[in-house]
Amino acid sequence: MHLRTLLIVFLLSLAYGEDRQIISKLNPGCPFPKTNKTLVYIQARGSHDTIHQVWDFTRGMPTIIYLISSLNSTLDVIWDDTEPSKFVLKGQRLYSFAATIDKLHEYDDIDNNGHIDNKCPQRAISFRNAVWSRSASVLTGQEAMLHMQGHFEEHWRKGTVDIKLDLLPYTDYAVDLPHLIHTANSTLVDIGLVNLTTSRDYNASRYAIHFVMLSTDSKQENMTYTMRKSLDDEHTPGVFEIFEIKTPKSYRSDDGGFMQFRPVGYTEPERSVSSSTNAYISNFTKTSLPKSSILKVFYEDYNSLLVQEMFISFGLPGDGYYRQHNYTSWSFTIGYGAPPVESFSLFVIIIISIGLGVPVLLALSGITYVLVRRCKQRNTPTRFTDDD
Ligand SMILES: *[C@@H]1O[C@H](CO)[C@@H](O)[C@H](O)[C@H]1NC(C)=O
Ligand SMILES: *[C@@H]1O[C@H](CO)[C@@H](O)[C@H](O)[C@H]1NC(C)=O
Ligand SMILES: *[C@@H]1O[C@H](CO)[C@@H](O)[C@H](O)[C@H]1NC(C)=O
Ligand SMILES: *[C@@H]1O[C@H](CO)[C@@H](O)[C@H](O)[C@H]1NC(C)=O
Ligand SMILES: *[C@@H]1O[C@H](CO)[C@@H](O)[C@H](O)[C@H]1NC(C)=O
Ligand SMILES: *[C@@H]1O[C@H](CO)[C@@H](O)[C@H](O)[C@H]1NC(C)=O
Ligand SMILES: *[C@@H]1O[C@H](CO)[C@@H](O)[C@H](O)[C@H]1NC(C)=O
Ligand SMILES: *[C@@H]1O[C@H](CO)[C@@H](O)[C@H](O)[C@H]1NC(C)=O
């Protein structure tokens, strides 16, 4: 009983111990408070620096911006009508990176291998004029969460793009599969492509997500991505790989930006091992900022930016393409610093300790028993032994 209480206290202190203080606001400084446009600003104060995050949907393309700056700095948003026109930082700028989903690609997977490649016929569906509405939000000192639903401008393309961003300012595993790790320095993002109409002239449609990633590193450098094997599949049954994209600064010194995900997507809202599918990452290529993106406003006065693009696509050979379920979802985390590494949980450690401890105890007690017996035998009066 006491052990259990201790355990719970220990777990709680692990989970809620320290980290960052967050303050989040919807459309801060906007002169039209009733606008249905959405920009969430989060200030996360640490002991050495402040992380400013901007989650922007005002220009159609879902965008996450990270700006790391000195302690006690503030970021103000200047609005032109209902669109941000300038971001003003009071404080010292240390580093910045961002990711935007500027479009989806619908591709005709004629070879039926799942991932997108240059050979597939494909068409881009831009988010520039997508209409977003807020379906839920939580903006408190303990959590910043925003759930958005988007619809495309083309009326024949029905369906919904679901995006949920969640910042929980402590380290823990996410509730949903694939149980990625979020920290005070990273945000968890879930994306769902729900009931999207596919093109008539493609009979093997799948959807790929197009990312543009940016960092305030030199143009000559490259983002890197690595695949790491994890021994621990306690949290994600059967999926042992973890992909990490790092900005050049993060690669060099672990104080840049990263994106982390598992190569797995889901074809049903109820995520499970049986509804999982593969997620593929394409190669990176250099590109420029998407037209009319909020990034153009935010990075107006930066001289050197590294901008790269890549695709995430989904599917397995012979799975019946997107139309089989009309649903694909996927999750990633994006954050600052060293990407979190999964550790064996306390539960597993206890199980292992018991597993190793019991035989060791048995062995020890066996040895003790034998030793005690020998001692006793030695000390037994000789007349008994004489009887033998
Ligand atoms: C930041 O603000 C706190 C109080 O708000 C103050 O105590 C601290 O000295 C400030 N730090 C810096 C570096 O300005
Ligand atoms: C937001 O408001 C504009 C104009 O006020 C309107 O045209 C648009 O349909 C609204 N969007 C949503 C998602 O409600
Ligand atoms: C978050 O970033 C700060 C540096 O800004 C670092 O000291 C801290 O360890 C990081 N926390 C986690 C959980 O990665
Ligand atoms: C998608 O379509 C299915 C079947 O038509 C329906 O049950 C489901 O509610 C739809 N989902 C959304 C989010 O519209
Ligand atoms: C799709 O159409 C192409 C020709 O347009 C055909 O060769 C292919 O077999 C079709 N695939 C399926 C799965 O029907
Ligand atoms: C970045 O990638 C390009 C193309 O793959 C390559 O030519 C270049 O040398 C790389 N730069 C660095 C600094 O590694
Ligand atoms: C990525 O690049 C490597 C070598 O540069 C190439 O072998 C591979 O086919 C490329 N992958 C894709 C999906 O284009
Ligand atoms: C998916 O949508 C298409 C029409 O876009 C429909 O023909 C098909 O039956 C749907 N599949 C499921 C599993 O609902």
Relative to the alpha carbon of 222, which ligand is closest?
6
Same domain, 254 and 354: no
Residue 42 tokens read as 């989060």
Instruction: Give a yes or no: residue 15 inside a domain.
Output: no
**Whole-number Å distance between alpha carbons of 296 and 294:** 5
Which residue has its alpha carbon closest to ligand 1 atom 10? 72
CB of 221 closer than 6 angstroms to any ligand 6 atom: yes
Query: Taking the chain (388 residues) in consecutive chunks of 10 residues, what is each chunk's mean pLDDT?
Result: 44 54 92 90 92 94 95 92 91 93 92 88 91 93 93 87 93 87 93 92 92 93 87 66 92 91 92 90 91 92 91 91 93 92 68 71 80 72 48
**Cα angle, residue 266 at apex, residues 344 and 143 outer, rounded to 5°:** 60
Q: Give residue 231's pLDDT.
A: 67
Query: Pick from 309, 324, 343: which residue ends a domain?
Result: 343
Ligand 4, residue 195: give the atom nearest the CA: 1
How many Å lie between the centroid of ligand 5 and the Cα of residue 204? 8
**13: in domain:** no
| Domain carrying residue 240 | 20-343
- Please provide the DSSP assignment of 314-344 as one string: E--TTS-TGGGTTEEEEEEEEEESSPP----
Q: Is the dihedral of CA 50, 250, 286, 99 positive or negative?
A: negative
Same domain, 219 and 364: no
Cis preceding-peptide flag for 28 (omega within 30 of 0): no
Assigned domain for 4 exists: no
Tell me how far apart the alpha carbons of residues 275 and 131 are, in angstroms, rounded to a whole number: 29
3-state helix, strand, coil in the chain (%, to 5): 20, 40, 40
For residues 150 and 132, what is the distance between their CA atoms, to the nearest angstrom? 4
Distance 327 CA to ligand 4 centre (A): 9
How far, in Å, is the centroid of ligand 7 from the Cα of 224? 14
Residue 97: strand, helix, or coil: strand
The answer to the question of residue 8 being in a domain is no
Give the rounded distance of the alpha carbon of 364 from its chain centre. 46
Do 369 and 280 share a structural domain?
A: no
Residue 256 is encoded by which pair of tokens? Answer: 């840049």
User: Residue 243: beta bridge partners?
Assistant: 227, 261
Look at residue 7 in the predicted model and tell me its pLDDT. 46
CA distances from 212 to 63, 123, 209, 312 (A): 9, 17, 10, 11
Q: First vs last Cα of the chain: how many Å apart?
A: 52
Ligand with minimal distance to 310 CA: 7
Q: Residues 362, 332: one domain?
A: no
Protein residue with its CA nearest to atom 7 in ligand 7: 283
Instruction: Confirm or reject: Cβ of 268 under 6 Å from ligand 6.
Output: no
Task: At 95, list the tokens.
Answer: 């580093």
**Residue to mutate, 283, 286, 308, 309, ligand 7, most ligand atoms under 8 Å from C-beta:** 283
Convert the pLDDT of each residue in 159-188 to its tens digit.
999 999 999 988 888 888 888 899 999 999
Residues 368 and 321 placed together within one structural domain of the fold: no
* 3 within some domain: no
**Same domain as 354, residue 315:** no
On whether both 374 and 257 belong to a single domain, the answer is no
Q: Does any domain span residue 7?
A: no
pLDDT reported for residue 312: 94
Ligand number nearest CA of 109 is: 5
Is residue 230 located within the same domain as residue 315? yes
Question: What is the bridge-based pairing of β-strands 63-69 and 74-80?
Answer: unpaired
Ligand 1 contact via 71 beta carbon (within 6 Å)? yes
Please give the structure tokens belonging to residue 25. Answer: 């606001």
Tell whether 2 is covered by a domain. no
Contacts of 328 (CB under 8 A, 6+ apart): 192, 193, 207, 265, 266, 267, 277, 314, 322
Q: Do 330 and 312 form a contact (C-beta atoms < 8 A)?
A: yes
Does ligand 8 lie within 6 Å of residue 323's CB atom?
A: yes
Torsions phi, psi of 160, nearest 5? -130, 140
Q: Six-digit token pair at 203?
A: 């009979």
Residue 84: which of 258, 294, 236, 286 has the closest Cα?
A: 294
The atom number, within ligand 8, closest to the CA of 325 reads 13
Side chain identity at residue 74, one-letter code: T
Q: What is the pLDDT of residue 34?
A: 86
CA separation for the pair 126, 293 (Å, rounded): 11
282 close to ligand 7 (CB < 6 Angstrom) = yes
**Model confidence, pTM:** 0.83
**By the 8 A CB rule, do 282 and 107 touch?**
no
CA of 25 to the centre of ligand 6 (A): 39
- Judged by its nearest atom, the ligand closest to the C-alpha of residue 90 is 1
| Residues 330 and 189 both lie in one domain | yes
Cα dihedral 122, 123, 126, 131 sign:
negative
Same domain, 361 and 325: no
Say how far apart CA 241 and CA 261 lie, in whole Å: 9
Q: Please indicate, yes or no, whether residues 233 and 377 belong to a single structural domain of this protein.
A: no
In this predicted structure, what is the pLDDT of residue 354? 72
Q: Determine the pLDDT at residue 95.
A: 93
- Looking at the structure, tell me whether residues 121 and 85 fall in a common domain: yes
Indicate if the alpha-carbon torsion angle 137, 143, 144, 148 is positive or negative: negative
Q: Is the CB of 157 under 6 A from ligand 8?
A: no
Number of structural domains (the chain) is 2
Phi-psi region of 27 (alpha: psi -120 to 50; beta: other; left: phi over 0): left
- The count of C-alpha atoms lying within 13 angstroms of the C-alpha of 115, restricted to the half-sphere facing its C-beta, is 13
CA of 49 to the centre of ligand 1 (A): 11
What tokens were used for 157? 């393309």
Would 240 be classed as within a structural domain? yes
Rounded Cα gap, residues 278 and 263, in angstroms: 6
Instruction: Give the CATH number for residue 247.
Output: 2.70.98
Whether residue 385 has its Cβ less than 6 Å from ligand 6: no
